[in-house]
Structure 1
Amino acid sequence: MASRFQHAMILHIILFLQIVHLIKGQLRIIPSYEPVLGVVGKEVVLPCQLEAKAISEGVLVQWTLIGNSLNTEVTTYDGKNAQNPVKENKAYLGRTNFFQSEINKGNLSLQLKNVVVSDKGKYICSVSLENWYDEVVVDLDVAAQGNESAVHLDGYVDQGIGLTCKSHGWFPQPEVIWLDSKGQIRKEKVVTQNLQTSSGLFDVVSSMTLEPGSDMEVSCRIVNDVLNTACESRILVLDVFFPSTSPWMTAFLVITFCTMAVIAAIGYKLKINCTRRQKEETTDELKKGKYFLSSINRCDHREQI
């Protein structure tokens, strides 16, 4: 009798071990080898797929952002809580979503909405089911396409003309390239600044000086290597704008000087006439009110004593 009982226990243990082995063999998270690219302002899906046809409804899924010193729990799905299975971190409120209709098929991926620069990083998808546990790391990269670039004429710099190219809203820091009419990189000295805003995006300001006799067609190209995209603006500067080559520049300066001299002379004449008139009016008023003024002065003098 005892041997039968022992034999039955052994069979149950073997069966249990086979079931556990079967679960472990069937359940496995498909690893994510390539980084996921998210575009600022849009949505992105962080993949976490179980290699199984069907799983229990009691699965527990946690998405965590790995930080330098502190990990942040982004969101959690608890299949045992039928009424309210999803719990979001306040910092991600309204920005995360599980594909709940596909969870029983092993799709535990996370949809992250309205991507921001601070979302960049490594995420852990950890899955618990009965006596089974596994996790996978998903690397999220973030990029942003800035607005259209624009080239402006800043004014004269010695005998040349200053040009500035501006664009806003890039991530990561873009590359700025100045080109000539043949698409070749220009040889002029270029000064470029990437100013990072509070949102983490970069505003680009790049300047150069176009000298007389240079290729007058200028292009400013801003490149985002992560997105493999670029914005380009082009401008054509005529020789007539250069102070050393402009035939009307001297005449313009002479006319301007003469006009300012005439305006100054008229203003000086009007000021003299106005001053003379005021003096005459003041003299007449003093003569008329001489006795009255002397009386007032005397009264003031008494009060002071």
Structure 2
Amino acid sequence: MKMRFLGRTCLIVLSLLPAVSTQRDGSSVVGSDQPIIASPGEDVILPCHITPSLSAVDMEVRWYRDSFDIPVHLYDYQSDWTDIQDSDYQGRTDLSILALQEGILSLYLRNLRHTDSGVYSCYATDGVWDGQGKTELIVRALGTQPSISMDSTQGEQTWLVCRSEGWDPEPEVIWRDRDGNDVTSLSNTTVQRDSQGLLSVSSYIKVKQQSNMFSCLVRSKTPKPEWESKLHISSDFFPGVSGWMVAFFLTLALSIGAIPLLVIQWRRMDAMERKLEPMGKKITY
């Protein structure tokens, strides 16, 4: 009787295996169809999930970039394996056990670096079934507000230089004249990488007398904010004005432009002091 019972039990189990296998064969791992865009220092979640929903608690879940054998994060046997994790990611990644129960394999990545940009693969397997999805991460560093200055003046030829630093990836520089025409083709742009791996751009353009208004637009090639600066050059500077005169009037113009900002800041500080003054009077010793 016992042998018959065990035999029937084995047949039942074996008959269920194809059904389980079919269910998982119909599942797939899906990443993000849109790149995840963030800035250095931020925390992000790289999306990935199994569809239809299937628990991944007992699976191997592996996130990696260039090498399958050097994972960004490895979860297996219900534990995180940090000893073989890529050293660049140690202490910065997490998977949620509760999310794994719902088939959500999303990776939590902290304190982004510009070197984290790239395509991440999300792999899951139970030993028989496996699936893989991909998610792209773009770590975009938005550089400083561009500054425009006169680099040199020789006779009737004056060069303007537009500078901005702290970018990644390389930004786009656009010059426009007073009529809004794109004159970028008349400029020369150089790009240098600093010790932190970020990019600094310097763009030069020759000024002519008939064009006395220039704007320099420096923008990221990814869909994020952009910076623009403008400089008005009076026709009085042409022709033959000495270099120190140009520098003097340019400095004067920039100083005058800064006065409204200083006034606004002073008013804010004065208003803050007035708010805090009644509170200070209430303090007794």
TM over 0.5: same fold?
yes
Query: 2:95 is matched with which residue?
Result: 98
CA distance in 2 between partners of 1:188 and 1:17 (Å):
65
How far does the alpha carbon of each residue in 1:255-283 deviate from its partner, in whole angstroms, 9 at most, with x for none? xxxxxxxxxxxxxxxxxxxxxxxxxxxxx
User: TM-score, length-normalised on structure 2?
Assistant: 0.71
Q: For 1:47, give the aligned amino acid.
A: P
Query: 1:124 is matched with which residue?
Result: 121
Query: 1:16 is matched with which residue?
Result: 17
Q: Does 1:167 align with 2:164?
A: yes
**1:200 partner SS:** coil
Using the TM superposition, give the Cα deviation of residue 163 of structure 1 relative to its aligned residue in structure 2, in angstroms.
1.2
Query: 1:220 is matched with which residue?
Result: 216
Using the TM superposition, give the Cα deviation of residue 111 of structure 1 relative to its aligned residue in structure 2, in angstroms.
1.9
Note the 1:119-198 alignment, pairs <5 A.
119-129=116-126, 131-186=128-183, 189-198=186-195
CA contact (8 A) 1:161 1:242 kept: no
Question: Identity of counterpart residues, as a percentage?
Answer: 26
Picking from 232, 235, 242, the partner of 1:239 is 235
CA contact (8 A) 2:212 2:233 kept: yes
In the comparison of the two structures, how many residue pairs are matched? 240
The 3 A distance-change label for structure 1 pair 236 and 38 is same
User: TM-score, length-normalised on structure 1?
Assistant: 0.67
**2:115 partner SS:** helix
Query: 2:57 is matched with which residue?
Result: 57
Moved more, 27-36 or 171-180: 27-36
**1:29 partner SS:** strand
The 3 A distance-change label for structure 1 pair 4 and 207 is closer
Q: For 1:123, give the aligned amino acid.
A: Y
Q: For structure 1, list consecutive stretches of 5 or more residues without a partner in the other structure.
A: 250-305
CA distance in 1 between partners of 2:227 and 2:30 (Å):
38
The 3 A distance-change label for structure 1 pair 76 and 11 is closer
Q: For structure 2, list consecutive stretches of 5 or more residues without a partner in the other structure.
A: 246-285
Q: For 1:75, give the aligned amino acid.
A: H
**2:211 partner SS:** coil
The structure number with the bigger radius of gyration is: 1
Query: 2:71 is matched with which residue?
Result: 73
**1:66 partner SS:** coil
CA contact (8 A) 1:239 1:245 kept: no
The 3 A distance-change label for structure 1 pair 106 and 12 is closer
CA distance in 2 between partners of 1:5 and 1:101 (Å):
36
| C-alpha RMSD of matched pairs (Å) | 3.1
Query: 1:40 is matched with which residue?
Result: 40
Q: For 1:115, give the aligned amino acid.
A: L
Using the TM superposition, give the Cα deviation of residue 126 of structure 1 relative to its aligned residue in structure 2, in angstroms.
1.5
